[in-house]
């Protein structure tokens, strides 16, 4: 019997917890599939309802709008990434090797986690690369922040920042370097696959080279 991983989410993100019903789980599963396939701009609750085989009104009982749904799946992803980092680095004593592992986890393809039956992490990872910044690059980011919608991202950055300080306790910019690692990993991947002239990895399409680039950038900063 497989165990199912459950992630606690901010109650203010939804009107009704999608984890508590089969329809709610379908909303999460199918929204990830549709956004991954067609992009956020083309995604609507009407199309989602048609894909699931339910009513548009039924979806609005769970989420106010598609932006709130995007924040939900982004926050879910960051919670899951922090869990994954803690799980895979727990037995690594050397902080430099731990940070090296973190960079690899952030900059390479994600394999779907079978413990989360209604979430395809591989597709969600691609959404975060292409659409994730739209969760907070908005006019209402200040109001959303008051509701702690971005706490999972902040917590992840704090976790990485703590590892950075273990590597060099005198380093002055651990959080800034944390966000740089995360955003650069995603940006270089996006450029590599979509705007190859803006990166050095456009020809090879090799994620391993992004990892090497980030390691060079990070560990040079920590000397």
Taking the chain (223 residues) in consecutive chunks of 10 residues, what is each chunk's mean pLDDT?
Answer: 75 97 97 97 98 97 98 97 95 97 96 89 97 96 97 98 98 98 97 97 96 98 94
- SS3 state at 48: helix
Cα separation, 158 vs 174, whole angstroms: 8
pLDDT of residue 113: 86
As a whole number of angstroms, the distance between CA 169 and CA 78 comes to 25
CA dihedral 135, 51, 54, 121 (to 10 degrees): -50
Whole-model pTM above 0.85? yes
SS3 at position 59: helix
pLDDT attached to residue 1: 42
Q: What local confidence, expressed as pLDDT, does residue 112 receive?
A: 87
Sequence-distant (6+) residues with CB within 8 A of 110 are: 121, 122, 124, 125
Residue 54 is predicted with a pLDDT of 97
Instruction: Give, for 191, the enclosing helix (H) or strand (E).
Output: helix 174-194
- DSSP letters for 141-168: HHHHHHTTTTHHHHHHHHHHHHHHHHH-
- Burial environment of residue 171 by CB neighbours within 10 A (0 to 12, 13 to 18, 19 or more): middle
Alpha-carbon span 46 to 213, nearest angstrom: 42
pLDDT of residue 2: 53
Query: According to the CATH classification, is domain 74-221 in 1.10.357?
Result: yes
Per-residue model confidence (pLDDT) at position 3: 57
């Amino acid at each position: 019997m497989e165990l199912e991983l459950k992630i606690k989410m901010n109650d203010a993100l939804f009107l009704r917890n999608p984890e508590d019903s089969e329809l709610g789980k379908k909303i999460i599963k199918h929204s990830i599939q549709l956004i991954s396939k067609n992009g956020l701009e083309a995604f609507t609750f009407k199309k989602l309802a048609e894909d699931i085989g339910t009513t548009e009104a039924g979806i609005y009982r769970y989420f106010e709008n598609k932006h709130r749904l995007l924040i939900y799946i982004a926050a879910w992803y960051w919670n899951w990434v922090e869990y994954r980092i803690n799980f895979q680095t727990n037995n690594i004593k050397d902080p430099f090797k731990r940070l090296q592992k973190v960079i690899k986890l952030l900059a390479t393809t994600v394999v779907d986690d079978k413990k989360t039956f209604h979430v395809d992490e591989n597709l969600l990872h691609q959404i975060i690369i292409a659409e994730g910044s739209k969760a907070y690059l908005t006019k209402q980011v200040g109001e959303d922040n008051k509701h702690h919608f971005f706490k999972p991202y902040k917590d992840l950055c704090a976790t990485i920042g703590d590892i950075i300080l273990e590597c060099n306790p005198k380093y002055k910019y651990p959080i800034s370097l944390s966000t740089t690692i995360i955003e650069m990993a995603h940006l270089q991947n996006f450029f590599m696959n979509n705007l190859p002239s803006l990166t050095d990895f456009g020809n090879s399409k090799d994620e391993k080279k992004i990892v090497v680039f980030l390691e060079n950038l990070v560990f040079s900063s920590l000397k």
